[in-house]
């Protein structure tokens, strides 16, 4: 590197360090500075090794100021109306003097490398409001990692004073389970007129829902929406009751009617009152802490092991042997375990 190049490089490094100084970011976040919040989340999402410690510092600082919000998960297949709903619902919450953060987990399609949530401008009006903060998570290669970072982003948003956090995910993969374990209330959006098998919604996802919304219940679609609502209501009755005493319901909504958005909020509020009173709200959050502790530990252990010297190379060799029929799958796994884990213990 030439002298001036080196100087430029050093300067940009210094600038980056200042920009991502965790203590400064924390102060900015506490002061409600959205740029600091955005940079804080970028820091959490960074894959640079040298950022990991700063990110952990930031989360540690924010944690004592987190927790004071309602965390709402929203899922449904592409096209069901998630962004239209969140835009409308978010504006309704702002009317009710809430500050709304939207975090979207977007598992990019592995095949095309494209984004499922799409590049279209989403939630245009909401994004202009100073009471709102919208942030799509970048598509990551490990869903677990993305989800953990989303959960930590929730803490940052709460420390910045956002009291309604919406976590959006596309209802086609396993991401719902992760989202379900980081929110207080889970909303499932469904289309009318299409069977649930067509929508790729698994029974397990329906079972997680605290409220099921049949979307686009306006104009000619209103009758079919009501029919679908009743069908879903009957299906929900078949699930065993929740330990938190909440009974999931189905409602039909049009994102273009503010009274529908208001009705959805009333339901969530009812849920909060019930579960706060019977303590299941805080109990559920404690359970989630435990879940994420275990998940994070698993992720760390795996990351450590996969990063061991020679691990990947040996993996490739064994995979080739497996392909050639020289080993069984179990035999190959055992081989790796002996060579890396047992040796590591000693
Ligand atoms: P997403 O992919 O789940 O985020 O779905 P979008 O919010 O982008 O909505 C998909 C399409 O459905 C868009 O063309 C919306 O205008 C339309 N849409 C969404 N909500 C409603 C609604 O309540 N009523 C009607 N009539 N159309 C809607």
- Residue 247: count of CB within 10 angstroms of its CB: 12
Of the two residues 204 and 109, the one the predictor is more confident about is: 204
Predicted confidence (pLDDT) per residue in 201-228, tens digit: 667 788 889 999 999 999 999 999 999 9
- Are the C-beta atoms of 116 and 178 separated by less than 8 Å? no
Q: Name the most confidently modeled range: 2-6, 152-156, 234-238.
A: 152-156
Residue closest by Cα to atom 28 of ligand 1:
216
Please, are residues 235 and 188 in contact by the beta-carbon 8 Å criterion?
Answer: no
Tokens of 220: 């000619």
pLDDT at 109: 46
For residue 204, what is the enclosing H or E element? helix 203-208
Cα distance between residue 87 and residue 326, in whole Å? 56
Residue identifier of the C-alpha nearest atom 19 of ligand 1? 81
List CB contacts of 254: < 8 A, sequence separation 6 or more: 215, 216, 217, 218, 260
- Break the chain into its structural domains and give their ranges: 3-62, 67-278, 290-344
Contacts 24+ apart (CB under 8 A), 35-43: 36/160, 37/133, 37/156, 37/157, 37/160, 38/133, 38/135, 40/156, 41/135, 41/149, 41/153, 41/156
Share of the chain above pLDDT 70, in %: 88
Decide: 213 in ligand 1 pocket, CB within 6 A: no
- The protein residue whose alpha carbon is closest to atom 16 in ligand 1 is 84
CB-based contact 108:142 (threshold 8 Å): no
According to CATH, the topology of domain 3-62 is 1.20.5
Topology (CATH) of 67-278: Rossmann fold (3.40.50)
The pTM for the full model equals 0.87
Measured from the CB, is residue 67 less than 6 Å from ligand 1? no
pLDDT in tens, 43-76: 998 888 888 899 999 999 999 999 999 999 999 8
Query: How far apart are the CA of 151 and the centre of ligand 1, in A?
Result: 27
Spatial contact of 144 and 299, defined as CB atoms under 8 Å apart: yes
pLDDT of residue 1: 65
Q: Answer for the pair 92, 72: CB distance below 8 angstroms, yes or no.
A: no
The tens digit of pLDDT for each residue in 307-332 reads 889 999 999 999 999 999 999 999 99
- Decide which of 1.10.3470, 1.20.1630, 1.20.930, 1.10.287 is the CATH code for 290-344: 1.10.287
Q: What is the mean pLDDT of residues 282-298?
A: 93
Mean pLDDT of the region 84-91: 97
Q: Is the pLDDT of residue 253 over 90?
A: yes
């Amino acid at each position: 590197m030439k002298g001036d190049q080196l100087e430029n490089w050093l300067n940009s490094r210094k600038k980056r360090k200042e920009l991502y100084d965790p203590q400064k970011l924390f102060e900015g976040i506490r002061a409600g500075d959205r740029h600091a919040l955005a940079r804080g989340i970028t820091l959490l999402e960074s894959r640079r090794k040298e950022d990991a410690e700063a990110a952990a510092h930031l989360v540690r600082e924010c944690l004592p100021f987190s927790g004071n919000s309602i965390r709402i998960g929203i899922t449904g297949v592409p096209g069901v109306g998630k962004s239209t709903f969140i835009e409308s619902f978010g504006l309704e919450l702002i009317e009710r003097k809430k500050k709304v953060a939207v975090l979207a987990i977007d598992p990019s399609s592995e095949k095309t490398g494209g984004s499922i949530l799409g590049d279209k401008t989403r939630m245009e009006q909401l994004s202009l409001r100073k009471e709102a903060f919208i942030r799509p998570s970048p598509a990551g290669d490990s869903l677990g990692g993305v989800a953990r970072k989303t959960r930590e982003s929730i803490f940052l948003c709460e420390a910045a004073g956002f009291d309604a956090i919406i976590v959006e995910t596309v209802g086609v993969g396993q991401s719902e389970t992760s989202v379900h374990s980081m929110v207080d209330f889970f909303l499932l959006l469904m289309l009318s007129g299409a069977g649930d098998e067509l929508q790729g919604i698994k029974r397990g996802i329906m079972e997680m829902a605290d409220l099921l919304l049949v979307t686009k219940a306006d104009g000619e679609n209103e009758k079919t929406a009501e029919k679908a609502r009743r069908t879903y209501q009957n299906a929900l009755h078949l699930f065993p009751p929740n330990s938190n005493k909440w009974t999931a319901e189905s409602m039909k909504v049009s994102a273009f009617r503010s009274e529908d958005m208001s009705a959805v909020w009333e339901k969530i509020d009812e849920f909060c009152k019930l579960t706060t009173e019977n303590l299941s709200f805080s109990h559920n959050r404690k359970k989630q802490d435990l879940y994420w502790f275990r998940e994070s530990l698993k992720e760390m252990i795996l990351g450590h092991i996969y990063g061991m010297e020679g691990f990947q190379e040996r993996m490739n060799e064994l995979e080739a042997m497996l392909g050639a029929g020289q080993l069984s799958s179990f035999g190959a796994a055992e081989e790796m375990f002996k060579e890396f884990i047992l040796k590591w213990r000693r």
